[in-house]
């Protein structure tokens, strides 16, 4: 799950940046990684990441990988922060994450070079 860490950030800074996630599932300050794992959406998120990487022509270095992946994770984090409501169940959180990923995948597939 190292792809959830921004290049050059240490673990302490990463936790500080992502600690504002809503309290849920009996814990406080959940990370994006923990939310994706608990919702079971890691495979689905990976599909989105792979589509972005394919569209970008792949990657040759760690920094090029992070240049593609980091904005995706940042956008997912914003979506969770905006749509989260206290008392959400794990299934509701799963649907929030799943819906966002589905929307991003649909947009990527709709905007293929042949569809422009």
How far is the CA of 3 from the CAs of 8, 35, 63, 85, 115, in angstroms?
A: 12, 14, 11, 27, 30
CA–CA distance, 23 with 30 (Å, rounded to integer): 7
Q: What is the pLDDT of residues 44-57, one digit of tens each?
A: 999 999 999 999 88
Q: How confident is the model at residue 112 (pLDDT cuts 50, 70, 90)?
A: low
pTM of the model: 0.72
């Amino acid at each position: 799950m190292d792809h959830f860490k921004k290049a050059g950030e240490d673990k302490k800074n990463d936790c500080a940046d992502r600690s504002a996630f809503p309290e849920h599932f009996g814990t406080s300050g959940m990370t994006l990684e923990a939310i994706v794992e608990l919702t079971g959406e890691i495979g689905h998120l990976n599909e989105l990441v792979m589509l972005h990487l394919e569209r970008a022509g792949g990657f040759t270095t760690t920094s090029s990988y992070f240049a593609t992946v980091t904005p995706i994770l940042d956008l997912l984090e914003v979506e969770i922060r905006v749509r989260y409501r206290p008392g959400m169940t794990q299934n509701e959180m799963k649907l929030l994450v799943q819906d966002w990923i589905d929307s991003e995948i649909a947009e990527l597939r709709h905007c293929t070079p042949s569809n422009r």
